[in-house]
Amino acid sequence: MKKFVIGNLQLANKYNKMGKKYIFVFLFAYCQLQTANFVFGQFFQGVGITGGVTMAKQKWFLEMPDASRNIQKKKNIWGFNGSVRGEFINNDYIRWVTEFQFNQKGCKNKTDSATYKYKLNYLCWNNFIKLQYETFEGFPYILVGPRVEYLLSQSGPGGPNHDVVVGYFNTFNFSWSAGVGYEKIVYGNFKPFIELHFNPDTPFYYAYNTDPLDVRNRAWELRIGVIFRPGGKDDCPAVIY
């Protein structure tokens, strides 16, 4: 009988320790999830989409037979752009915006005999520092940052009908961007905004470099979009009598 009682006590003590262990693991996991949720809530500020038009052109650097360099500014060509973005950092004045964007660039090259159109389709990863200021009606802001561009496709003259561009543009291109925008304060989680970006290539890299020609892109982008802000309902202030 004594052994039976001792055995039951040992078994109960064992299950008691296991129960405490599971309770501790549960509480630890719960605290970690709550901490992660709090940190993410403080860090994550919204997700949005944009769409717009791109006015692009190129600057050509042509190596001449006498080793001199002829710089030619080509004509504008119109295209489209669209992006999906996330906004981070819980601060009243500074945010980080990262986005994946489809963008169309290129130019028109007018010669004596014909006008050639070059169209480039890029998939871009853009990262901006966003500096904003709150007004009564909304948030005016500026965006500045780098872009990494992957060439999806290109179209233009080829074969016996080509002009100076005879090869492929580089698979990867690097550019930077400076933009201004305005986000309207509205009731609800979805906030409309509009942006204008200036997007030239970086000065240390060419989008195309096949002798005797080097090419850099330059573009202006007009975008409109909407961003979802969790918990971002703008309530009217209470009336005080």
pLDDT in tens, 222-237: 999 999 999 755 544 4
pLDDT in tens, 30-40: 554 444 444 45
Q: For residue 161, what pLDDT is reported?
A: 46
Residues 6+ apart with CB under 8 A from 192: 183, 184, 186, 224, 225, 226
Q: Is 21 left (phi over 0), alpha (psi -120 to 50) or beta?
A: alpha
Enter the tokens of residue 111. Answer: 């010669």
Among 219, 227, 198, smallest CA distance to 121 is for: 219
CB 168 within 8 A of CB 120: no
Q: What percent of the chain has pLDDT over 90?
A: 61
Instruction: Compute the mean pLDDT over every residue in the chain, rounded to the nearest whole number.
Output: 83
| 193-233 tens-digit pLDDT | 999 999 999 988 999 998 888 999 999 999 999 999 997 55
> Does the model's pTM come out above 0.85?
no
pLDDT tier, 116 (very low <50, low <70, confident <90, very high otherwise): confident
Q: Which domains does the chain have, with CATH numbers?
A: 45-228 (2.40.160.20)
